[in-house]
Chain A
């Protein structure tokens, strides 16, 4: 910095003044990354809780015992079919060493929902044919929780 330069010019090219905005941007980017991780974690837990909550609410608002049990069987069948799909797909992705991009993440998500739906509906169908009207909701104390 020569003395020939004006004060504003020195300020403009000052190293410390030049790095400050980058530092702020990096700080904000790190903060966003941190928030997105918490949001994702919270979102997953929220979705799982919401799906159980919806099933619980449906059980509570249905008077018919058979329907209550069908909701329970459908929910249980759906949750475990979807989870298993996630575990198996995860193992395959890991072995294939394919990086998980947004498309792969979407495929896992949509596939999980589809398998979950199929598993739930088919379990409910078998229960309605072979379940022999055994009251699982009362037997497993689900009725006491979801009322």
Chain B
């Protein structure tokens, strides 16, 4: 244990955490894209919920993933997203359904990944400032 400093352990925890949660985020997003677009496109991917150019742009990868992220937000925060975009849409989904669970899991992974990336960026900026001070 004494072989490695706290900085070394913290760096590798952040690095591998970022990589594992990042891969998880990408895989989960694509799996959910496959499932949710097949399930909800006929109901939601049309006017007036999306504008004309959105209906075109959101069919092209990687922008098509934005509509999957939107569907997942809708499953997790139905009232909020309904107010913002899907007015008058009733999904009648069970709160304990697998789709809701995996959408919540995706958002959890995104939050953890954001914290890890922000920690890495913040730490990197501090190190950069410290090395600039040392140089002077």
Contacts and interface: CB of A to CB of B under 8 A. Distances in A.
B61 A122 contact: no
B32 to A, nearest CB: 12
Interface string A24-38: 000000000000110
A131 B82 CA distance: 47
A84 B61 contact: no
A95 B10 contact: no
In the complex, which range does the number of interface residues on chain A fall in? 35 or more
A80 B19 contact: yes
Question: Per DSSP, are chain B's interface residues mostly helix, strand or loop, or mixed?
Answer: helix
Given A73-B15, A79-B22, A94-B70, A86 B62 contact: yes
Interface stretch (B35-43, B90-98, B114-122): B114-122
Interface of B: 4-5, 7-8, 10-12, 15, 18-19, 22, 25-26, 29, 51, 53-54, 57-63, 65-67, 69-70, 73, 81, 84-85, 110, 113-114, 117, 120-121, 123-125, 127-128, 131
